[in-house]
Every structure is written in C-alpha cells, then in structure tokens.
C-alpha cells in the first residue's frame, strides 16, 4: 500500500525567510496531494492541494510542487510570518477506497521573530 514520508519533523526559520517541507510517496497511482495546517488543539485545515496532472500550484505565499517521476512533492512558504507557526501534514490519495488519504508524520514549523 501507499506510504508517505515527510521531512523534516521540525523546522525552525527566521521570520521573513522561506520554509520548505518535503514529502515522498511510494504508490505511483497516487494522484491527489493535499497539505494541511494544524494549530495546537485545533482541526487540520486544507491550505493547498495539487493533482498529478499539474506540476506546480501557487496561492499567495504558499506553493506546492510535484515531481511524479521522483514521487515527491513539497510545500513552499515564502515571507514567513509568526502565524505560520503550526504543524503541517502532507497526504496522498490514489482516489480508491473513498479517496482515503495516507498521511505524513507532520512537520512542526517554528517561526522565530
């Protein structure tokens, strides 16, 4: 079955700098890759997603890139702000099994003032 690995587990960056979180997946049939942000004690919120027919997607300071050949996708946050501090989860889905998502282990992003 699908396996998703996420790195790093913790990332600390200076406010204003960029942050990059990477995920790799094992199932070449995966075709949907969302990223969720979860603040402490709160629900995960979808921040951006990408489908396998697209190589890159951008939404203001957030972007996601997908390399299907290498089977990895990355989240890029530019001009980081204190409110970006949270745990970020990547996930992958093949569209089978009710679009069940296979989750990465999460990355704790710390923005240093």
- Chain residues binding another protein by CB under 8 A are 32, 34, 36, 41-46, 49, 89, 93, 95, 97-101, 103-106, 108
Is 87 in contact with 106 (CB distance < 8 Å)?
Answer: yes
* Least distance (Å) between residue 105 CB and another protein: 5
Nearer to another protein, 9 or 14 (CB): 9
- Residue 110: CB minimum distance to another protein, A: 13
Question: Between 44 and 64, whose beta carbon lies closer to another protein?
Answer: 44
CB closer to another protein, 80 vs 107: 107
What lies within 8 Å, CB to CB, of 39 at 6+ separation is 86, 87
Close Cβ partners of 81 (under 8 Å, ≥ 6 residues apart): 15, 111
- Which residue in the block uniquely carries the two structure tokens 């702000």? 81
């Amino acid at each position: 079955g699908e396996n998703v690995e996420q790195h790093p587990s913790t990332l600390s960056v200076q406010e204003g700098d960029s942050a990059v979180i990477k995920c790799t997946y094992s199932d070449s049939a995966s075709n949907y890759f969302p990223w969720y942000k979860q603040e402490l004690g709160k629900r995960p919120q979808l921040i951006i997603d990408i489908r396998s027919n697209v190589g890159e997607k951008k939404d203001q300071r957030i972007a996601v890139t997908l390399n299907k050949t290498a089977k990895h996708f990355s989240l890029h946050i530019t001009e980081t702000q204190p409110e970006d501090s949270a745990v970020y989860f990547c996930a992958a889905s093949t569209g089978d099994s009710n679009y069940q998502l296979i989750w990465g282990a999460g990355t704790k992003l710390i923005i240093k003032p």
